[in-house]
């Protein structure tokens, strides 16, 4: 095995990174494989990025629109249309809500529903609760 490259944080060993990667794989192949809420976003790279964008904004309490998400995801991961369609489908499936801005009625902010929050936090807890070998 090769050493960790210089751009990695000090203290992160290959074994530690391997353990985290193993937990991610285990989570994706078990818990997340059977959670329909998470599966709604897992079918593509852009779906996963949409999910992560939604929760990043949620946890830092930052307003987020569908346009913000589509502009923040590189085209090589998915077209603007694909991203916006995924967001519309998530809203139809009651995984997110859109709240109209009080100052600009054209802006609709995306918020995860409690159902999606619970699924996401269950996924994160699962991944973080595993012991590192």
Residue 8 domain flag: no
Task: Report how many domains make up the chain.
Answer: 1
Residue span of the structural domain in which 112 resides: 14-129
Residue 6 domain flag: no
CATH of the domain at 76: 1.10.10.10
Residues of the chain with pLDDT under 70: 1-11, 31-33, 43, 130-133
- Distance of CA 40 to CAs 14, 69, 120, Å? 32, 16, 12
Residue 108 is predicted with a pLDDT of: 97
Backbone angles phi, psi at 58, to 5 degrees: -60, -50
pTM of the model: 0.77
101-126: buried (b, 16+ CB within 10 Å) or exposed (e) per residue?
A: eeeeeebbbbbbbeebbebbebbeee
Q: From the DSSP assignment, how many helices (H) and strands (E) are in the chain? A: 6, 2
Residue 6 is predicted with a pLDDT of: 53
Give pLDDT tens digits for 71-94: 999 988 889 999 999 999 999 999
């Amino acid at each position: 095995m090769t050493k960790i490259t210089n751009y990695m944080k000090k203290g992160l060993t290959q074994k530690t990174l391997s353990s985290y990667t193993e937990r991610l794989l285990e989570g994706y192949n078990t818990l997340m494989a059977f959670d329909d809420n998470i599966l709604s976003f897992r079918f593509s790279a852009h779906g996963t990025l949409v999910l992560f964008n939604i929760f990043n904004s949620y946890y830092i309490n930052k307003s987020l629109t569908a346009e913000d998400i589509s502009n923040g995801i590189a085209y090589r991961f998915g077209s603007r249309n694909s991203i916006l369609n995924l967001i519309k489908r998530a809203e139809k499936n009651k995984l997110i809500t859109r709240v109209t801005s009080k100052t600009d009625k054209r802006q609709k902010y995306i918020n995860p529903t409690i159902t999606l929050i619970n699924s996401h936090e269950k996924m994160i807890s699962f991944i973080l609760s595993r012991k590192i070998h």
